[in-house]
Structure 1
Amino acid sequence: MVFAPAPRLTVTIDQPSDEVEIHLHPGGQGVWQARMITSLGTPVTLCAALGGEIGKVLEPLLSSEGVDLKVIHRESSSGGYVHDNRSAEPAEIADVPGHPLSRHELDELYNLALGEGLRARVSVLSGPGEPSLVPDDIYRRLTADLGANGSLVVADLSGGHLRAVLESGVHFLKISHEELIREGRADDDSDEELTRALYELHASGAESVVVSHAERPSLALVDGQVFEVSMPRLQVADPHGAGDSMTAGVAAVLAAGGDLATAIRTGTAAGALNVTRHGYGTGRPDSIAGLVDRVRLTPLGSGRQDRLTPDQLAGRTARP
Structure 2
Amino acid sequence: MTTPSRVATVTFNPAIDQTITVGHLTRGEVHRAHSVRQDPGGKGVNVASCLADWGVPVTTFGLLGADNAAPFEALCAAKPIADRFERLPGATRVNIKIVDDRETTDINMDGLSADDIATGKVVAAVEAFAADDALVVLSGSLPPGCHAGIYAEMVARLRSRGAKVLLDTSGVPLTLALKAQVLPDIIKPNRRELAAWAGEPLETIEDVVRCCQRLHAQGIALVVVSMGEEGALFLSGEGALLARLPAGELASTVGAGDAMVAGLAAAVIEGAGLERTARLATAFAVAKLGRPGPHLPDLGTIHAMSEDVTITTIDSAEQIGASGTGEAR
TM-score in terms of structure 1 length:
0.81
- In the alignment, the residues of structure 2 paired with residue 80 and residue 12 of structure 1 have an alpha-carbon distance, to the nearest angstrom, of 10
Q: CA deviation at 1:292?
A: 1.6
- In the alignment, the residues of structure 1 paired with residue 130 and residue 184 of structure 2 have an alpha-carbon distance, to the nearest angstrom, of 14
Q: Partner of 1:2 in structure 2?
A: 9
User: In the alignment, which of 93, 102, 105 is matched to residue 115 of structure 2?
Assistant: 102
Tell me the secondary structure at the aligned position of residue 134 of structure 1.
coil
Q: Partner of 1:213 in structure 2?
A: 227
Q: Partner of 1:316 in structure 2?
A: none
User: In the alignment, which of 123, 128, 131 is matched to residue 115 of structure 1?
Assistant: 128
Tell me the secondary structure at the aligned position of residue 271 of structure 1.
helix
Tell me the secondary structure at the aligned position of residue 136 of structure 1.
coil
Q: How does 1:17-32 map to 2 (within 5 A)?
A: 23-32=37-46
User: In the alignment, which of 286, 300, 309 is matched to residue 314 of structure 2?
Assistant: 300
Q: Partner of 2:302 in structure 1?
A: 288
Q: CA deviation at 1:214?
A: 0.5
Letter in 1 for 2:161: N
- Tell whether the 8 Å contact from 2:86 to 2:122 is kept in structure 1 after alignment: yes
Tell me the secondary structure at the aligned position of residue 206 of structure 1.
coil
Letter in 2 for 1:136: A
Shift in CA distance, 226/79, structure 1 to aligned 2, threshold 3 Å: same
Shift in CA distance, 89/156, structure 1 to aligned 2, threshold 3 Å: closer
Shift in CA distance, 154/26, structure 1 to aligned 2, threshold 3 Å: same
- Tell whether the 8 Å contact from 2:64 to 2:88 is kept in structure 1 after alignment: yes
Q: CA deviation at 1:294?
A: 2.5
- Tell whether the 8 Å contact from 1:117 to 1:151 is kept in structure 2 after alignment: yes
Q: How does 1:186-265 map to 2 (within 5 A)?
A: 186-223=200-237, 225-232=239-246, 234-265=248-279
- Tell whether the 8 Å contact from 1:219 to 1:228 is kept in structure 2 after alignment: yes
Q: Partner of 1:165 in structure 2?
A: 177
Letter in 2 for 1:263: T
TM-score in terms of structure 2 length:
0.79
More displaced stretch, 195-204 vs 24-33: 195-204
More displaced stretch, 69-78 vs 284-293: 69-78
For the aligned residue pairs, the C-alpha RMSD in angstroms reads 3.2
Tell me the secondary structure at the aligned position of residue 42 of structure 1.
coil
Q: Partner of 2:289 in structure 1?
A: 275
Q: Partner of 1:150 in structure 2?
A: 162
Percent of pairs identical after alignment?
A: 25
Q: CA deviation at 1:95?
A: 5.7
Structure 1: where are the runs of 5+ without partners? 307-320
Aligned residues: 302
- In the alignment, the residues of structure 2 paired with residue 4 and residue 152 of structure 1 have an alpha-carbon distance, to the nearest angstrom, of 17
Q: CA deviation at 1:4?
A: 1.2
Q: Partner of 2:323 in structure 1?
A: none
- In the alignment, the residues of structure 2 paired with residue 229 and residue 254 of structure 1 have an alpha-carbon distance, to the nearest angstrom, of 17
- Tell whether the 8 Å contact from 1:32 to 1:245 is kept in structure 2 after alignment: yes
- In the alignment, the residues of structure 1 paired with residue 249 and residue 311 of structure 2 have an alpha-carbon distance, to the nearest angstrom, of 22
- Tell whether the 8 Å contact from 1:186 to 1:194 is kept in structure 2 after alignment: no
Q: CA deviation at 1:118?
A: 3.0
Q: CA deviation at 1:108?
A: 0.5
Structure 2: where are the runs of 5+ without partners? 1-7, 24-32, 321-329
- Tell whether the 8 Å contact from 1:54 to 1:80 is kept in structure 2 after alignment: no
- In the alignment, the residues of structure 2 paired with residue 219 and residue 88 of structure 1 have an alpha-carbon distance, to the nearest angstrom, of 24
- In the alignment, the residues of structure 2 paired with residue 207 and residue 302 of structure 1 have an alpha-carbon distance, to the nearest angstrom, of 17
- In the alignment, the residues of structure 1 paired with residue 192 and residue 143 of structure 2 have an alpha-carbon distance, to the nearest angstrom, of 17
Tell me the secondary structure at the aligned position of residue 235 of structure 2.
strand
- Tell whether the 8 Å contact from 1:185 to 1:197 is kept in structure 2 after alignment: no
Letter in 2 for 1:107: G
Q: CA deviation at 1:47?
A: 0.6
- In the alignment, the residues of structure 1 paired with residue 79 and residue 22 of structure 2 have an alpha-carbon distance, to the nearest angstrom, of 24
- In the alignment, the residues of structure 2 paired with residue 53 and residue 77 of structure 1 have an alpha-carbon distance, to the nearest angstrom, of 5
